[in-house]
Amino acid sequence: MSIIICAVAFAVFFGSICFLLLLIVLMVDSVARGHDLSTSKRATDGIIKIISEHKNARIFYDLGCARGALAIRIQKKFPAIKVRAIDNDPIRIFFARTRALILRRNIDFIKKNIFDVDLRDADVVYTYLWYDIMPPLQEKLEKELKTGAIVITNTSKFPAWKPIKIIVTYPKKTNTPDFETLFVYQKQ
């Protein structure tokens, strides 16, 4: 009996140490690598509504997917849509792939710089990235996206594009006026 108690105590201790190390890795990654905000449930609901309105959507890109939470939700809601999630951080991609494996979601998690990804086949593109990335990303999307493709940005917007729709997910005032506001664009 005491051997069983010792084994259980060791398993709990070892599991706690592993969990603590995992948290430390995630915290260091977030601090060292910067922006790692998850898309909120309200914003996700808005994205799902937008995709639902575009019946011809077959390929969805999540640029800067972090740990893959949104990509997994989109694939669950739209199993017929091919989801490709891109991030340049190997730790985030590792956790995203692990999560998708556990949840049995078929998603292409790709460790790559978003500017090195060919987006010509995209029907819907989503980003929740820093403001300074938006001008070069806009230029890339103008060159690569097919006519009719939808682009959804969260909080940050493109400097020269006019959104076809704006969805305010948090109507209360915050220090950031566009916090969790979805800007929807369509390639002309």
State pLDDT tens for residues 149-166. 999 999 899 989 999 999
Pair 61, 107 in one domain: yes
Other CB atoms within 10 A of residue 88 CB: 15
pLDDT tens for 7-66 read: 555 565 655 554 444 545 444 444 444 555 788 888 999 999 999 999 889 999 999 999
Same domain, 30 and 49: no
Number of neighbouring beta carbons within 10 Å of residue 124: 24
d(CA 117, CA 143) in angstroms, rounded, equals: 12
What is the tally of structural domains in the chain? 2
- Residue 12, domain extent: 1-34
User: Residue 30's closest CA among 62, 4, 66?
Assistant: 66
Same domain, 65 and 118: yes
- CATH number of residue 117's parent domain: 3.40.50.150
- Other C-beta atoms closer than 10 Å to the C-beta of 166 total 11
For residues 62 and 84, the answer to whether their CB atoms sit within 8 Å is yes
Residues 13 and 89 both lie in one domain: no
